[in-house]
Amino acid sequence: MTETNSGPVDVTVLLFAAHRELVGGARDTIVSLPERATVDTLLARLRARGGGWSQLPRRAAVAVNRRYAGGDTVLAEGDEVALIPPVAGG
């Protein structure tokens, strides 16, 4: 989070339900991003991995550190970023 920090930041990406199955099963993935990368940057990177990843939505509901967050949210080292498919509780 410090401004002096340079180089990539590692975030943990969590996938659930239909998203998780699209990419073949693992709930957690570590992704390295450039400094000051946003949620939208991350989504674009994930989709660029090809295969099932490319079927992830271009814009999805996302939670950063367990709170819903906008696509322009800047990510920091160690953030937990969850892609939230349309919810169906109850």
Partner 1 sequence: MSWSDVTKDPIDPGAVLARVGRPGDGAVAFFAGVVRDENEGRPVSGMEYEGYDEMARDELAGIVAEAAGRAGTQRIAAVHRLGRLAVGEVSVAIAVSAPHRAEAFAAARYIIEEIKKRLPVWKREHYLDREAEWLEGSLPVERGNRGA
- Please report, as ranges, the residues that interact with partner 1 according to CB under 8 A: 14, 16-18, 60-63, 66-71, 82, 84-90
Least Å distance, CB 67 to partner 1, is 7
Element containing residue 14 per DSSP (H, E):
strand 9-14
DSSP class of residue 17?
A: H
Least Å distance, CB 39 to partner 1, is 9
Tally of CB atoms within 10 A around 13:
21
Q: In what order do the strands lie in the sheet with 28-33?
A: 28-33, 9-14, 80-84, 61-64, 67-69
Residue number with CB closer to partner 1 (8 or 78): 78
Do 86 and 11 meet the contact criterion of CB atoms below 8 Å apart? no
Least Å distance, CB 46 to partner 1, is 17
Residue number with CB closer to partner 1 (65 or 77): 65
Residue number with CB closer to partner 1 (7 or 86): 86
